[in-house]
Structure 1
Amino acid sequence: KPLSFLFLLASLLVLSLLSPSQSTLVVPTSTVRAADTVAQFLYGHNVVRARHRLPPFRWSAKLASYAKWYANQRRRDCALIHSGGAGYGENIFWGQGSKWSAADAVGAWAAQEAYYNYNTNSCLPGKDCWHYTQLVWRSSRQVGCAKVKCVSGDTFVVCEYNPHGNTIGQIG
């Protein structure tokens, strides 16, 4: 049964990555153990990076520690506010309810590829794509993430990247 869950999760992630022009609605999956969450974060990020022939991210305990600290700061309000510090790149995610997984957050960021214009290195008018560009930023090598259940019962996810991406005037 655990293998069938992992196969289903991997299949959903791959399908969401292969069809970014479809709806970007992400359906929550069940909560998993912490070690599985780390694997989900890395797998989701590295599937996206592999599609663009980019080196895989390495997990950073230092980045994960900062992400956990910041996620705990958002536990009371679950607000989509960036930390604004530490000099890392950062992606944030909010999901209503507690059953959102690491794969759901990464899948939502990856789905923003549909809004990215490679020719102009910009998002389509009125669309957000900067979470996606951080995922595929060429010089970023490490990632560390955290997920918390907020007081409201909702889910907040944050990932930190080093070196940071989305530098104005540069193309990832």
Structure 2
Amino acid sequence: MKKFFRKRLRKSHSVHDETRHKSAEDEAAAIAGSSSTTLTTKGANGIAQSRTFDASHGYRTTDYHSYTTEAGSSSMTDEQRFDPLLDRAMMQTITDVKYVKRRPKFTAVSSANFQRQCLEAHNFVRQKYGVPSLIWSQELAELAKTWAMKLADRGRILYPELPDIGENITLTIGSHENHLTTGEELVAFWAKQADEFNFSNPKWSIKCKDFTQMIWRSSIEMGVCRYWNTHKNCLAIVSFYRPAGNSNAPDK
């Protein structure tokens, strides 16, 4: 009986060694395979693929070739430099909601996600037209929140006329219980106004004012807020830009 168990033990030990050896080989193969996968997923210029926003079809996977050729490396440097501002604001929001008791905690977190979606979608559209990326401004976001709450309470659009600050405002009244407008959907809606814009003879027009503010070259920072007044079923979205766009007179 003792011999039997010793044999079983030796066999089990040898199988364990073989399994461990095979796992090491598989791991080495996986590392080698991942290296080749990384190479194959890069474009002709060695640029890795990434997930980007399409104004008409939402997010899609593409490479950054058009991004670098249109916006240049300086815009990427700006984005890498100023993205932490939005990250810090989001982390502060997540920290704050730990102590929120009177409203669902997911509301504040979803608002932070909405803001990031808006910034990323704005910059995708701007780079499509060869315009440098916007950077995040928490100051403008707080101003947008104050104004969005006011509009949702009154149920109509009002323009604040703040000095050197442009705005895009959307307000809808109805049922928003099942779905709130996302940042991607908002920017896609404004981007459709490009159909009304005459690129060969550019002029200000009320039909495409949201689109022209989005891609206004001299605007360098933005802040946005989405506020839903549940009592009045009114959703207000306010996006502020600085310096202001659409500074030309109508039809000029």
Deviation at 1:136, TM superposition (A): 0.5
Shift of 1:123: 5.8
Q: Is residue 64–residue 143 contact of structure 1 (8 Å, CA) maintained in 2?
A: yes
> For 1:7-39, what per-residue CA distance to the aligned partner results, in whole angstroms no more than 9, with x for missing partners?
8x956x4427xxxxxxxxxxxxxx871221121
Q: CA contact under 8 A between 1:92 and 1:158: conserved in structure 2?
A: yes
TM-score normalized with structure 2 length? 0.52
Q: Which amino acid aligns with 2:149?
A: N
The two structures, once aligned, show a CA RMSD in angstroms of 2.7
**What secondary structure, in the 3-state scheme, does the structure 1 residue paired with 2:212 have?**
helix
SS at match of 2:232: coil
Alignment of structure 1 residues 63-74 onto 2, 5 Å: 63-74=140-151
Name 1:139's counterpart in structure 2.
218
Q: Are 1:156 and 2:233 counterparts?
A: no
Q: Rg larger in 1 or in 2? A: 2
2:241, 2:135 → 1: CA distance? 10
**Equivalent residues of 2:53, 2:120 under 8 A apart:** no
Q: Structure 2 matches for 1:20-99, cutoff 5 A?
A: 33-95=110-172, 96-98=174-176, 99=180
| Secondary structure of residue in 1 paired with 2:164 | coil
What's the counterpart of residue 114 of structure 1? 195
Aligned to 2:146, the other structure's residue is in SS state helix
Per the alignment, residue 57 of structure 2 pairs with 15
Given that 1:115 and 1:123 are in contact with CA atoms closer than 8 Å, whether structure 2 keeps it comes out as: no
TM-score after normalising by structure 1: 0.74
Whether contact under 8 Å (1:88, 1:162) holds in the other structure is yes
Secondary structure, in 3 states, of the residue corresponding to 1:45? Answer: helix
Q: Distance in 2 between matches of 1:97 and 1:55?
A: 37
Q: Distance in 2 between matches of 1:40 and 1:67?
A: 16
Matched-pair contact (CA < 8 Å) for 1:57–1:141? yes
The letter of the residue matching 1:142 is E
**Contact 1:97–1:155 (Cα < 8 Å) also in 2:** no
Distance 1:139 1:129 in 2: 17
| Compared CA separation, residues 94 and 62, structure 1 to 2 (3 A) | same
Q: Which runs of 5+ in 1 are unaligned?
A: 1-6, 17-30
Deviation track 1:27-57 (CA, whole Å, cap 9, x = no partner) reads xxxx871221121111110111010121111
Change (3 A) 1:36 1:50: same
CA distance in 2, matches of 1:51, 1:43: 12
- Relative distance call for 1:120 and 1:10 in structure 2 (3 A) is closer
Q: Quick one: distance in 2 between partners of 1:101 and 1:83?
A: 24
Measure, in 2, the Cα distance between the counterparts of 1:46 and 1:10. 9
